[in-house]
Amino acid sequence: MPTVNTTEAPQQTETIALTRGVPAPEVLPGVDIAACLAAALEDDPVGVLQYGHPSGYAPLRKLLAGLYGVEDGQIFVTNGSLQLMDLLAAHLVRPGDSVLVERPSYDRAIGAYKRRGARVVGIPLQPDGIDLDRLEAEVQRQVPAFLYLIPDFQNPAGITLSLEKRRRLLDLAARYGFWVVEDVPYRLLRYEGQPVPTLRELDHPGAARVLTMSSHSKLVAPALRVGHLVGPAALVAALARLGEDTYLSPVLPTQATIYEFLRQGRLEPNVEHLKATYAPRCRAMIEAVRRHLPGVPFAPPEGGFFLGLTLPPEANTDGLLERAAAAGLLLTDGRAFFAPADAPDGAGAGERFVRLPFCALTPQQIDEGVRRLAVAVS
Amino acid sequence: MPTVNTTEAPQQTETIALTRGVPAPEVLPGVDIAACLAAALEDDPVGVLQYGHPSGYAPLRKLLAGLYGVEDGQIFVTNGSLQLMDLLAAHLVRPGDSVLVERPSYDRAIGAYKRRGARVVGIPLQPDGIDLDRLEAEVQRQVPAFLYLIPDFQNPAGITLSLEKRRRLLDLAARYGFWVVEDVPYRLLRYEGQPVPTLRELDHPGAARVLTMSSHSKLVAPALRVGHLVGPAALVAALARLGEDTYLSPVLPTQATIYEFLRQGRLEPNVEHLKATYAPRCRAMIEAVRRHLPGVPFAPPEGGFFLGLTLPPEANTDGLLERAAAAGLLLTDGRAFFAPADAPDGAGAGERFVRLPFCALTPQQIDEGVRRLAVAVS
């Protein structure tokens, strides 16, 4: 394993990982989590430990329903967001169906939808979010099973969907009749600017087309694996049946831990602590890219985990991952984020796209990492 | 929800559930579990909370590997046994493949294998375990992707596979070349008699055909959802890749809890406590069946959670579930445990089979439940 030192200035020989979007280890709230599980076990030992409802831990569902202003039956909680995407696609995708995603999008989501038989199509992402003209053209060719997008601080590009585009997108969804799955795991981690309403908040009453999903991996701890979806009760019931067939009931002690974390009011101070930790790292990443890769355009992220950029055509990207690794810099292959394009437009398949996660690195490591990237592509 | 009172004598109006094999709520070790998670979080906060290895929590894998006498790479730990069956079938079953099970067998296992495309075939179960002549005849027709069986205190029949049949079964597996998946979640809960060696312990060195799977749902608590498999390292690696594609990484805090539970030596006293609680209930079930259903043959279970019986042809089983429910007795439909038969042999499709779980009921409730069953079928 490469050593990643998060407390001191990077040494020349230290490998720097700009690969996965992982939380900083020093902000994982182990003591709080132990206290929350202990409290849950004291209050509700049988509910936390016995076989449970396949829709998830009832008190957590009720609490989330209250936060979203929906019925308990509209909340599905499962073993993390990827499991949720897998079940959602298993339920919604029929043979021949397409699923639309932003281009680039979260690589594992693309894989999950493909494995459930979808033809996954990527719609170009612009600095203010998905290209709606291209989206409409694709929807006119074939109405998809659903559109999956990450409206806030997108993975991998760091982009936020503008308010105007959110409204137009919902008009399209209502007009053509397709589900919009908004995945908002980073939403609360805003370091700059003002929040834009969620698609759910903007959705047409009476013609609701939004399914909202999120997770506490980035807000509390990843290994708890607590992902949730808000949607119509019939859809939630169908997902629960699929979940029951697959894993009987979800893991409940970690759901009960999140329940206590929320109920005890620990989320807000934890998020404040995360923002205080991550905001300087986000700024450091923006500054490092401006310093070491001057002239390369990118949309400065206002929150989340990632800055994404597309290197200019003259950049040397041949064997980039291997050359970077040899120089002590680990990168993810940009092509993994690019689903097949909606149209031949010469944008490439992500060879020049680089995702730069910043949360688990110090500002010094970030600067050194981007410096090594600049050297590698020069 | 029907009220199930586990502390006092049953009232005439109390509904008695002889449906699922659930642990008694009063033996769920909530305090121990809170202590174990707290210890794990103190020792290894990042390992327990950060994204982890898709094969499971490394210290637990190492500990289990030591118990089984295998390499760490031969242990796969996932979110419960049913998830494990789902991934195993996804990996091993190819179009056209068969999977063989005992008839009757665990209903959810049958469903999981079917959903992954297997033609599931049931081989008759005898009082000393699966009918090996029928098994061999079926294997000669088509070598299956695997044979799944529950050798100890079988679900749903309570039967244990004899030593002689275990040896003959392994000879068959070696001769015809198929995997034998032994699922042993009840094995440590023996209330009478002497343990028979596992198939793994008896397997041919150099021609190993056994995959062993188990869980801590019945030994610690179900909602922890910690199931594991022991098999060749290449198979484990393939399951881990499928798991990573499906849920990224398994839920780790509950795996770490089981690790501490085992490491701190809490399992053995917990199992002793479970046996002390469950053994009288097992005896009560055997006695109740002899008392209220005299002449109905059954194999008295020596451990586990279930007694299974097949009612005589003259029993009134028309609309049994509904009539029993009206009389305050909840039963599971016996047909769910019967995969399509290997041959037309007139044994029926489980209409007359009844599974009687006894662990979560008092002796009084057990007696009253079987009395109601006897009335309903008379």
Give pLDDT tens digits for B148-196: 999 999 999 999 999 999 999 999 999 999 999 999 999 999 999 999 9
CB environment B101-136: b (16+ within 10 A), e (fewer): bbbbbbbbbbbbbbbbebbbbbbbbbeebbbbebbb
Nearest-CA distance from A48 to chain B in Å? 7
Q: For residue B4, what pLDDT band results from cuts at 50, 70 and 90? A: very low
pLDDT over 80 at B348, yes or no: no
Calculate the average pLDDT of chain B: 95
Question: Contacts of residue A224 in chain B, CB cutoff 8 Å?
Answer: 49, 251, 253
For the segment A251-271, the average pLDDT, to the nearest whole number, is 98
Instruction: State both tokens at A62.
Output: 């009720």
Q: For residue B206, what pLDDT band results from cuts at 50, 70 and 90? A: confident
- Note whether A28 contacts B: Cβ–Cβ < 8 A: yes
pLDDT recorded at residue B207: 74
pLDDT recorded at residue A10: 56
pLDDT over 70 at B94, yes or no: yes
pLDDT over 80 at A158, yes or no: yes
- A106, A123 contact by CB (below 8 A): no
pLDDT over 60 at B7, yes or no: no
Question: Contacts of residue A251 in chain B, CB cutoff 8 Å?
Answer: 79-80, 223-225, 251, 254
Q: Looking at this predicted complex, what is its ipTM?
A: 0.94
Question: Kindly report the CA angle at A85 between A124 and A64, in degrees rounded to 5?
Answer: 110
- Identify the residue among A50, A261, A332 best suited for mutation to test binding to B, counting B beta carbons within 10 A and taking the highest: A50
pLDDT recorded at residue A13: 75
pLDDT recorded at residue A29: 97
Q: How many CB pairs under 8 A join A and B?
A: 156
Contact B251 A251 (CB under 8 A): yes
- Note whether A336 contacts B: Cβ–Cβ < 8 A: no
Contact A50 B249 (CB under 8 A): no
Nearest-CA distance from A224 to chain B in Å? 6
Q: For residue A11, what pLDDT band results from cuts at 50, 70 and 90? A: low
pLDDT over 60 at B145, yes or no: yes
Question: Contacts of residue A246 in chain B, CB cutoff 8 Å?
Answer: 82-83, 86, 112
For the segment A314-336, the average pLDDT, to the nearest whole number, is 95
For the segment A369-377, the average pLDDT, to the nearest whole number, is 97
pLDDT above 70 covers what percent of chain B?
96
Give pLDDT tens digits for A232-254: 999 999 999 999 999 999 999 99
pLDDT recorded at residue B344: 85
Nearest-CA distance from A227 to chain B in Å? 10
pLDDT recorded at residue A3: 46
- What is the SS3 assignment for chain A? CCCCCCCCCCCCCCCEEECCCCCCHHHCCHHHHHHHHHHHHHHCHHHHHCCCCCCCCHHHHHHHHHHHCCCHHHEEEECCHHHHHHHHHHHHCCCCCEEEEEECCCHHHHHHHHHCCCEEEEEEEECCEECHHHHHHHHHHCCCCEEEECCCCCCCCCCCCCHHHHHHHHHHHHHHCCEEEEECCCCCCECCCCCCCCHHHHCCCCCCCEEEEEECCCCCCHHHCCEEEECCHHHHHHHHHHHHHHHCCCCHHHHHHHHHHHHCCCHHHHHHHHHHHHHHHHHHHHHHHHHHCCCCCCCCCCECCEEEEECCCCCCCCCHHHHHHHCCEEECCHHHHCCCECCCCCCCCCCCEEEEECCCCCHHHHHHHHHHHHHHHC
Nearest-CA distance from A118 to chain B in Å? 15
pLDDT recorded at residue A1: 39
pLDDT over 90 at B33, yes or no: yes
B23/A207: higher pLDDT: B23
pLDDT recorded at residue B5: 47
A348/B248: higher pLDDT: B248
pLDDT over 80 at B377, yes or no: yes
In this complex, which of B50, B79, B248 lies closest to A28 when CB atoms are compared?
B50
Contact B225 A249 (CB under 8 A): yes
pLDDT recorded at residue B346: 61
Instruction: State both tokens at A69.
Output: 């202003």
Q: What is the pTM for the complete model shown?
A: 0.94
B154 φ, ψ to 5°? -55, 145
Give pLDDT tens digits for B289-331: 999 999 999 999 999 999 999 999 999 999 999 999 999 999 9
pLDDT recorded at residue B104: 97
pLDDT recorded at residue A5: 47
Contact B223 A48 (CB under 8 A): yes
Nearest-CA distance from A86 to chain B in Å? 6
Give pLDDT tens digits for A95-151: 999 999 999 999 999 999 999 999 999 999 999 999 999 999 999 999 999 999 999
pLDDT over 50 at A2, yes or no: no
Q: For residue B226, what pLDDT band results from cuts at 50, 70 and 90? A: very high
Q: Which residue has the tokens 């199931």?
A: B227
d(CA A290, CA B25): 60
pLDDT recorded at residue B3: 46
pLDDT recorded at residue B349: 77
**Chain B 41-100, residues with CB within 8 Å of chain A CB atoms:** 41-42, 45-46, 48-52, 79-80, 82-83, 86
